[in-house]
């Protein structure tokens, strides 16, 4: 993070090569080659127009009317061609950007969901802040700015080569001064501003993401905050987080708008003066036309800007370096061993057609606390088990281990493939989608008819939703519309649609009245399904063949 250029370049290449060496690179390479051809043509038009500008000044100074009007006509044609070329390469640039972004987003989403990395990132591994921002915003910024800087660099090379020949033909001294000027500008910019601005931009991205996340938490928990009347503490906390971003931004604008700009603007105007200083005596003595100073000034400015691209766009470069760093750290997380405790014992998984625990010893994910020791139990097909106990005794932790979410410990868990098990948590996950999509989640039962789904909705007592929303195909934010009890009934609807062989219920009827609870459990029993329930209510006992009571303190 502290070394600006070498680290930023190596981090950039680690991300860029995923697409350009391993991904679907052919369409993008074709577009890149076409864009290079257009940039080359664009540079030639710039050289042409720069020469026409010098001719116009010389024509005016010599009062040559024919030469002047002929130059005006040619200049208009050049301007039209310049506009067409710029528009075409701008279109190709954005096409490369969206192709790259599409592939890179799909790649990181694949890594995010692989081996349930999203679960570990959002629950245990706090070193990676705001993974949602890294996928949605940082990838977008990375692709846009990468393509833009690539275009700028290629264009700069073309400009330097083309206009350096013009400068050399006018006066070799112009090229020598230009080299010295550029080396000074580059060295001062990197040495004095690189490290500081890059660090401040990385901090700003993180603090802005923290502020946005604090607002998302308020939106997601608005009802609870309102019940607690927690307006003052929530408002105070959000303002504190924003003030951290505000203070860092104050430092950022001080360095970028004052310190950097003082240097940048002073150096930036020198290309207007240097050609006149070098060529002034030759013009005054009549050795060259006055238009040559104009032509040299234009060429010197073009080359100076291209060579010192880093100085002129340094604030953008530091923001880009910050985005590269965040994305690189995210990428590296998926490449390295996931846990510092990788060499410690892990719970083994055996695939079979029943559920069981053999000498299970379970820890919290960080191995700080033991939850169970040498726990053994078997649930044969078509059996039912109820796990009861005080809140915090570890009932839900056992289900997390069964689902493969918690693996810290020893012993063995016997279960079928996860695709054969349906988990019903206390607070069901409501996807953003239609009622049909809610009912078939997490599977894709595209062959199920509307009539079958109507019957399922009626069985779980939610038929009024069909009338209320005009059928099954209206998209809603169901987590906001439905009460927790309605969401739990809808989750049982998913069970009736999926017809799984095994069901795990974690307080899945806690928000239901006893009548609806009995109704839904009777549906479950009639399906001849093997199921395990976690719950507090004594009324659950009658629905299960085996009941165990647990005690102790655990998550």
Tens digits of pLDDT across the chain (555 residues): 344 455 778 888 889 888 888 767 777 788 888 888 888 887 777 777 767 766 676 667 667 777 778 777 777 887 888 778 878 878 888 888 888 888 999 999 888 888 777 787 777 666 777 788 888 888 988 998 888 888 877 777 777 777 777 777 777 777 677 777 767 776 777 667 767 777 888 888 888 888 888 888 887 777 667 756 677 878 888 898 999 999 998 888 888 777 777 776 666 666 666 666 666 666 666 666 666 666 666 666 676 666 666 555 666 777 787 778 888 888 888 887 655 555 567 888 889 888 888 998 888 877 778 888 888 888 888 899 998 877 766 778 888 888 888 888 889 999 998 888 898 988 888 887 889 988 988 887 677 888 999 999 999 999 999 888 888 888 888 888 899 999 999 999 999 998 889 999 999 998 999 999 999 999 899 998 999 999 888 999 999 998 988 764 434
Instruction: Give the pLDDT confidence score for residue 3 in this predicted structure.
Output: 43
pLDDT for 444: 73
Residue 225: per-residue pLDDT: 74
- Residue 542, pLDDT score: 92
Distance (Å, whole) CA 537 – CA 507 = 9
pLDDT computed for residue 254 by the predictor: 85
Q: Which CATH number fits domain 5-335: 3.30.2350.10, 1.20.1250.20, 1.20.1560.10, 3.40.50.2300?
A: 1.20.1560.10
Between CA 382 and CA 398 the distance in angstroms is: 20
Helix (H, G, I), strand (E, B) or coil at 44: helix
Question: CA 537, CA 544: separation in Å to the nearest integer?
Answer: 12
- CATH topology match: 5-335 vs 348-550: no
Going from N- to C-terminal start, the domains of the chain cover 5-335, 348-550
Q: What is the pLDDT of residue 457?
A: 92
CATH number belonging to the domain at 348-550, selected among 3.40.50.1700, 1.20.58.220, 3.40.50.880, 3.40.50.300: 3.40.50.300
Residue 263 burial (C-beta neighbours within 10 Å; 0-12, 13-18, 19+): middle
Strands 421-424 and 355-363: unpaired
Q: Rounded to whole angstroms, what are the CA distances from 386 to 539, 542, 547?
A: 11, 10, 5
What letter does residue 445 receive in the DSSP assignment?
A: -
Give the model's pLDDT for residue 493.
Answer: 92
Number of helical (H) and strand (E) elements in the chain, helices listed first:
22, 9
For residue 261, give the 3-state DSSP assignment. helix
Alpha-carbon torsion, ordered 381, 387, 392, 397, to 10 deg: -10
């Amino acid at each position: 993070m502290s070394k600006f250029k070498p680290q930023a370049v190596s981090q950039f290449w680690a991300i860029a090569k995923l697409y350009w060496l391993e991904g679907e690179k052919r369409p993008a390479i074709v577009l890149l080659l076409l864009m290079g051809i257009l940039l080359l043509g664009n540079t030639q038009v710039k050289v042409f127009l720069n020469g026409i500008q010098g001719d116009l000044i010389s024509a005016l100074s010599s009062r040559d009317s024919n030469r002047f009007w002929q130059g005006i006509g040619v200049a208009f044609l050049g301007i039209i061609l310049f506009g067409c070329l710029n528009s075409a390469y701008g279109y190709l640039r954005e096409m490369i950007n969206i192709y790259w972004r599409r592939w890179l987003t799909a790649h990181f989403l694949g890594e995010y969901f692989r081996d349930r990395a999203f679960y570990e990132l959002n629950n245990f591994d706090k070193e990676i802040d705001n993974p949602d921002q890294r996928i949605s915003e940082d990838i977008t910024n990375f692709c846009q700015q990468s393509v833009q800087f690539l275009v700028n660099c290629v264009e700069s090379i073309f400009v330097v080569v083309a206009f350096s020949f013009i400068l050399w033909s006018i006066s070799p001294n112009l090229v020598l001064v230009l080299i010295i000027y550029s080396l000074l500008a580059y060295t001062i910019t990197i040495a004095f501003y690189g490290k500081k601005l890059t660090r401040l931009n990385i901090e700003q991205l993180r603090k802005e993401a923290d502020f946005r996340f604090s607002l998302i938490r308020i939106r997601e928990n608005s009802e609870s905050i309102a019940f607690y009347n927690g307006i003052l503490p929530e408002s105070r906390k959000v303002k504190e987080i924003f003030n951290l971003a505000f203070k860092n931004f104050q430092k950022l604008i001080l360095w970028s708008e004052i310190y950097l700009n003082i240097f940048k603007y002073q150096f930036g105007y020198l290309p207007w003066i240097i050609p006149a200083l070098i060529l002034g005596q030759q013009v005054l003595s009549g050795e060259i036309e006055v238009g040559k100073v104009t032509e040299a000034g234009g060429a010197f400015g073009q080359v100076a800007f291209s060579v010192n691209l880093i100085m002129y766009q340094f604030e953008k470069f530091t923001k880009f370096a910050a985005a590269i760093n965040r994305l690189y750290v995210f990428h590296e997380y998926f490449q390295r061993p996931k846990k510092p405790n990788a060499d410690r014992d892990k719970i083994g998984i055996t695939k079979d057609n029943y559920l069981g625990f053999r000498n299970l010893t379970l820890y919290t994910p960080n191995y700080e606390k033991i939850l169970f020791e040498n726990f053994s139990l078997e649930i044969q097909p078509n059996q039912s088990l109820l796990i009861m106990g005080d809140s915090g005794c570890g009932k839900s932790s056992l289900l997390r281990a069964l689902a493969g979410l918690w693996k810290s410990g020893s012993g063995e868990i016997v279960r079928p493939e996860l695709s054969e098990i349906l988990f019903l948590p206390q607070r069901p996950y409501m996807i953003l989608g239609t009622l049909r999509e809610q009912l078939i989640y997490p599977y894709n039962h595209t062959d199920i008819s509307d009539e079958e789904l109507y019957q399922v909705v009626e069985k779980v007592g939610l038929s009024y939703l069909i009338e209320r929303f005009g059928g099954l195909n209206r998209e809603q934010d169901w987590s906001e519309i439905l009460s927790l009890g309605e969401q739990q009934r809808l989750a049982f609807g998913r069970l009736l649609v999926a017809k799984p062989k095994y069901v795990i219920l974690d307080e899945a009827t806690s928000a239901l009245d006893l009548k609806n609870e009995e109704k839904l459990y009777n549906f479950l029993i009639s399906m001849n399904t093997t199921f395990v329930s976690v719950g507090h209510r004594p009324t659950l006992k009658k629905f299960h063949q085996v009941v165990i009571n647990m005690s102790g303190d655990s998550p």
